[in-house]
Amino acid sequence: MGRPIRIFMSTGGYIIRVVSCAGCKKEIGWIYLKVQESSQLYKLGKFVLELERLEIIIPPARTGVAF
């Protein structure tokens, strides 16, 4: 995760941290660290993942190997 960033949205000011894919390192969203408006407290600690940045990867089929 990146360093904290201050941003302003239509719902108020926030401190967020950008979240990246562990595999390819591309930015895929953010997590809310602090909120300015008390009405937005429910967002604290929540992640936002941008669907257009996500890619569904289907794992290869298992070949009967038991673990």
pLDDT value for 58: 84
| pLDDT number for residue 57 | 82
**Residue 64 confidence (pLDDT):** 67
Per-residue pLDDT at 26: 92
At residue 66, the pLDDT reads 61
Q: What is the pLDDT of residue 55?
A: 86
Which residue do the tokens 């719902």 mark? 11
Mean pLDDT by 10 residues, the chain (67 residues): 90 96 91 97 97 87 68
Cα separation, 45 vs 48, in Å, equals: 10
Residue with tokens 């950008």: 18
